[in-house]
Amino acid sequence: MLKKLFVILIFAFFAMAAISVSAVRATQTQDAMVEFKDNNCVACHARLSNPYRLTSRYAEWHISTHKDKSIGCEKCHGGDPAIKDEKQAHAGVVAPQDSKSRLHQKNLPETCGACHQTVVNSFVESRHYQKLKDAGLGPSCSTCHVHMASQVLYTPEETAQMCSTCHNSPNKLMPLRPEIPQQANEVMQAIRRANTVVMWADRLIQQAEAKKLDISEAKKEQLIARAVMAEARTSWHAFNLDVVRKKADDAFEMSNKVKDSLRARLYPQQQ
């Protein structure tokens, strides 16, 4: 009995130690910044405390996926991160409103495309890209993704409003096409619905694995659903709204089936 208690105590001790170590690690990764130890853009901007327009931008980057993937400021803004002096480091950093900036609306597809080739290929197919190149008209990457692109700016309703400013506006700059914002709203809802169910199915797969159920079939189907969802996200950028909606709905159907079959096995009492 004592021996058993001792084993449990030892086990608990190691478990606690493991938890606290991983907690420390989790906080360290956000601020350890090993990849950025020689990056002066990051070192200097991290310490600035005003004005707002600079400090908020830095903080957005600090908690972004781009930072987690070691993408420094210079990858988008230009400039030289190896130089400590502010003026010299900024050589080539131009305000995004300036048409020479790598981040000007017209130049974003090329700048972001360095890493997001498939999305940009899809965008380039659209009439928007042509108009953006020729006349500076039409939405570009940061219209919807904001600074750090960690989220899509718009809800389905807001997306529809954004499309309306050009496609259904009384100023008659363009023909009235009320069906475009309407359809965009539905497509955004389709994307959200599918994303959510894909996540739901993922969680059930984790639970089933923890219970050591044989779910190889469900996992195969979920893999396909994820691939179709990725295609939906990419093809949204060509604005072929029917195609996107079909793909998002297909992904939804597939993950929904996975979800239902796993729920039936994990929680039969709820059926």
Residue 193 lies near ligand HEC (rule: CB under 6 A): no
Residue 69 lies near ligand HEC (rule: CB under 6 A): yes
Q: In whole angstroms, give the CA distance from residue 19 to residue 24.
A: 9
For 62, residues 6+ apart whose C-beta sits below 8 A from its C-beta are: 30, 46
Residue 138 lies near ligand HEC (rule: CB under 6 A): yes
CB of 242 to ligand HEC, least distance (A): 9
Enter the tokens of residue 250. 């297909």
CB of 211 to ligand HEC, least distance (A): 30
Size of the site for ligand HEC (CB under 6 A): 73
Q: In whole angstroms, give the CA distance from residue 202 to residue 254.
A: 12
**C-alpha to C-alpha distances, 253 to 201, 203, 214, 221, 246, nearest whole angstrom:** 11, 17, 22, 11, 10
- Near ligand HEC by CB under 6 A, which window of 15-23, 131-139, 199-207, 259-267? 131-139
* Touching ligand HEC, residues 217-256 (CB under 6 A): 230, 233, 236-237, 239, 241
* Touching ligand HEC, residues 46-65 (CB under 6 A): 48, 53-54, 57-58, 61, 65
Sign of CA dihedral 126, 228, 190, 147: negative
CB of 68 to ligand HEC, least distance (A): 8
Instruction: Please classify residue 241 by burial: count the beta carbons closer than 10 Å to its beta carbon, then call 0-12 exposed, 13-18 middle and 19+ buried.
Output: buried
Residue 104 lies near ligand HEC (rule: CB under 6 A): no
Residue 198 lies near ligand HEC (rule: CB under 6 A): no
Q: In whole angstroms, give the CA distance from residue 184 to residue 161.
A: 9
Residue 33 lies near ligand HEC (rule: CB under 6 A): no
Judged by CB under 6 A, the residue of 33, 106, 125, 144 near ligand HEC is 144
Residue 109 lies near ligand HEC (rule: CB under 6 A): yes
Q: What is the CA radius of gyration of the chain?
A: 24
Judged by CB under 6 A, the residue of 121, 156, 167, 250 near ligand HEC is 167
- Near ligand HEC by CB under 6 A, which window of 3-11, 26-34, 165-173, 205-213? 165-173
Q: In whole angstroms, give the CA distance from residue 198 to residue 181.
A: 26
- Near ligand HEC by CB under 6 A, which window of 11-19, 163-171, 197-205, 211-219? 163-171
Residue 71 lies near ligand HEC (rule: CB under 6 A): yes
Judged by CB under 6 A, the residue of 35, 106, 131, 263 near ligand HEC is 131
Q: In whole angstroms, give the CA distance from residue 50 to residue 63.
A: 19
Contact present, 35 and 29 (Cβ < 8 Å): no
Contact present, 96 and 108 (Cβ < 8 Å): no
Residue 45 lies near ligand HEC (rule: CB under 6 A): yes
Judged by CB under 6 A, the residue of 106, 145, 193, 263 near ligand HEC is 145
Q: Which is nearer to ligand HEC, 145 or 219 (CB)?
A: 145
Enter the tokens of residue 167. 């496609």
